[in-house]
Structures are given as C-alpha cells and as structure tokens.
Amino acid sequence: MDVLELFEQIRRKPGIYLDGDKSLKRLRSFLVGYECGAATTARELTDHLHFHEFHDWIAKRLGYTSSSSGWCNMILEKSGSDEKAYEMFFELLDEFKTLKTIASET
C-alpha cells in the first residue's frame, strides 16, 4: 500500500485507526506500528522516498534548520495542541503532495 493512500484512509476515518481521537501523536504511533508489522510480514509501504522527503520539507516549511527532531515534533511544536497538529499535518501533507505532483509534471 502507498503510504499516502494509507494517510487518506486515516483522514477519512481517524476513529478506526487512532482510537477515536484526531491526534498527531497517535497517527505517528500508528505509522510506526504499521511499518514494523509490514517489515515482519515482508510487506512494505511503497512511496517511502516521497514520505522521507516530507521530513526535510516540513523542516524548511516550518522554519527549522534541520529535520532531526522529526516531522511529528516539529508540527506539534508549531501547532499548540495535538488535535491542531493532526489537522496541520494533513494540510501540510496536501501542500507537499501538490508540490510533488507539479514537480513530476514538469
């Protein structure tokens, strides 16, 4: 499964995946667990390259000098609350995907 497709499923029904709460911390935990499960069953998320580019892009987009603190922590710090961070994540993800689409078309 494409990681971006997985995020869209979570966006549509966060309660199913995140135990009822819109939480960036829970979203990150879900993703880590999903990746671990995929690794142990020889399945893998595709499109990791783009998602790994997301880390550095988030740092630049939010005014950080590096992405070493991780996308989750950077968004949490800038948003003020976990639920706002969750919403901000999807706004930033949409922006990132749009930029990637434009770049691939040129």
Segment 3-55, tens digit of pLDDT: 888 899 999 999 988 987 789 999 999 988 887 777 676 555 555 556 778 88
Strand pairing partners for 50?
none
Whole-number pLDDT of residue 37? 78
Q: What integer is the mean pLDDT of 76-81?
A: 93
Signed CA dihedral, 59, 64, 66, 71: sign only: negative
Residue 91, exposed/middle/buried by CB under 10 A (0-12, 13-18, 19+)?
exposed
- Mean pLDDT across the chain, nearest whole number? 85
Whether this prediction's pTM lies above 0.85 is answered by no
